[in-house]
Amino acid sequence: MLQTQDKSVDAAKLDAFVARAIGDLSAGYGGVMVSLGHRLGLYKKLAEAGPLTSRELAGRAGCAERYVREWLGSQVAGGYVGYHAISDTYELAPEQALVLADEDSPFFIPNAWAVPASMWSDEEKAVEAFRTGRGVAWGDHDGKLFCGVAAFYRNAYKASLVSEWLPALDGVVEKLQAGARVADVGCGHGHSTVLMAEAFPASEFRGFDTHLESVAEAWKIAALAGVAERTSFATARADDYPATGYDLICFFDCLHDMGDPVAAATHAAKAIAPGGSIMLVEPFANDRVEDNVSPVARIYYAASTTICCAHAISDGGRLVLGAQAGEARLEDVFRKAGFSRFRRALETPFNLILEARL
């Protein structure tokens, strides 16, 4: 038990909180190990074989054994890899492989560690933003952010967008099957756009984003997927992208990053076709701070502090929603933009899937 001279301190509570803080620190160190394991292919090599010694794993991955042995020790200590003491071998369980080795799994987590890595890299910018109140634009962040966010969300979208989220909207799948016009606003690397284009070959998809490098990457991803003829990408703001008559306008995890979400929703109201739908996917959040106490909420509030709010402020900051806006505040945005119908179509532990119609 830790000792303190302060009589107002509950020793048991102090012990428990210190243990929690050490656990969080351990997780931070562990994240570096996860990223290394992913980049070096160590998890994949473990997943491809049965139990391996550190020397066997090093040989398969083309790495130095002494480093691999120490890395394996960290994985065993954290419960990420199993260890067989009798044979001095290490093994990745099927459940662990889904999280650490299978890049197409909806549970795959290593890419997500690029986001806190970018946050550490941008710490001085965050300190300056706190002191001055100025924003930090999306494009001014460390490059790890863009790849980390895109890769992390890609798997969630791949698992649920076509099979669950779109069917939860009123009549949208039928329109997409028949041939619809779709705008993907804030499309980033275009993973959501491409997934929809692959599923609905009769429809046309246009992605818009303010980040030039992400738009360039979206073109490449669409070409690799073989849907370039039915997709297009352009740099544009959420309140000035071209054309009207969209049957579906999508905002995937981006509305809360915008400096004027009401203007974005108002532009969508002008751009949407009669009977069209808005699909709004936002980080899961309850409406009150006291109801957002969970590991997921902690992740979202932290990212929102240095990324989401920072960009919204840099983008004019008329309404800085943050990543934990909650359904009520999001509905208010669309009501102000003239939408008469707004509902929660679906929810997951990570996302709210919302639908708005005029």
Query: Quick one: 340 and 197 in the same domain?
Result: yes
pLDDT of 1 > 80? The answer is: no
In-domain check, residue 1: no
Name which residue leads in pLDDT, 104 or 310: 310
3-class DSSP state of 245: coil
Supply the pLDDT for residue 18.
Answer: 95
pLDDT in tens, 197-241: 999 999 999 999 999 999 999 999 999 999 999 999 999 999 999
Asked if residue 353 has pLDDT above 70, the reply is yes
What pLDDT, on the 0 to 100 scale, is given for residue 341?
98
Sheet with strand 351-357: strands edge to edge: 231-235, 204-209, 181-185, 246-252, 272-283, 351-357, 341-347
Domain CATH for 50: 1.10.10.10
So what's the pLDDT on residue 7?
73
Query: Does the residue 3 lie in any domain?
Result: no
Residue 115 and residue 97 share a domain: no
CATH number, domain with residue 185: 3.40.50.150
Please check whether residues 182 and 276 belong to one and the same domain: yes
Q: Is 109 helix (H, G, I), strand (E, B) or coil?
A: coil
Looking up tokens 């606003």, which residue turns up? 185
> Is residue 5 scored above 80 in pLDDT?
no
- Residue 52 shares a structural domain with residue 88: yes
Q: Which of 101, 121, 140 is the last residue of a domain?
A: 101
pLDDT of residue 147: 86
- The predicted model gives 282-305 an average pLDDT of 96
Q: How many CB atoms lie within 10 A of CB 9?
A: 11
Structural domain boundaries enclosing 218: 111-355
Domain-located, residue 139 = yes
User: In the predicted model, what is the mean pLDDT of residues 58-80?
Assistant: 98
**What confidence score (pLDDT) does residue 204 get?**
97
Q: Are residues 33 and 80 in the same domain?
A: yes
Q: Is 71 in the same domain as 140? A: no
High-pLDDT (> 70) share of the chain, % = 98
Q: Specify if 201 maps to a domain.
A: yes
Output the pTM of the full model.
Answer: 0.92
| Mean pLDDT across 79-94 | 98
The answer to whether residues 121 and 71 belong to one domain is no
What's the rounded mean pLDDT across residues 73-90?
A: 98
Among residues 101, 132, 165, the one where a domain terminates is 101
Shared-domain flag, residues 317 and 192? yes
Fill in the amino acid letter for 3: Q
Say yes or no: 233 and 317 in one domain.
Answer: yes
For residues 175 and 146, the model is more confident at: 175
Residues 84 and 201 in one domain: no
Between CA 352 and CA 358, with CA 355 as vertex, the angle to 5 degrees is 150
Q: Does residue 55 sit in the same domain as residue 157?
A: no
* Number of domain units in the chain: 2
What are 233-270's pLDDT values in tens digits? 999 999 999 988 999 999 999 999 999 999 999 999 99
Predicted confidence (pLDDT) per residue in 100-142, tens digit = 999 989 999 999 999 999 999 999 999 999 999 999 999 999 9
Note whether residue 273 is domain-resident.
yes
In a shared domain, residues 96 and 123: no
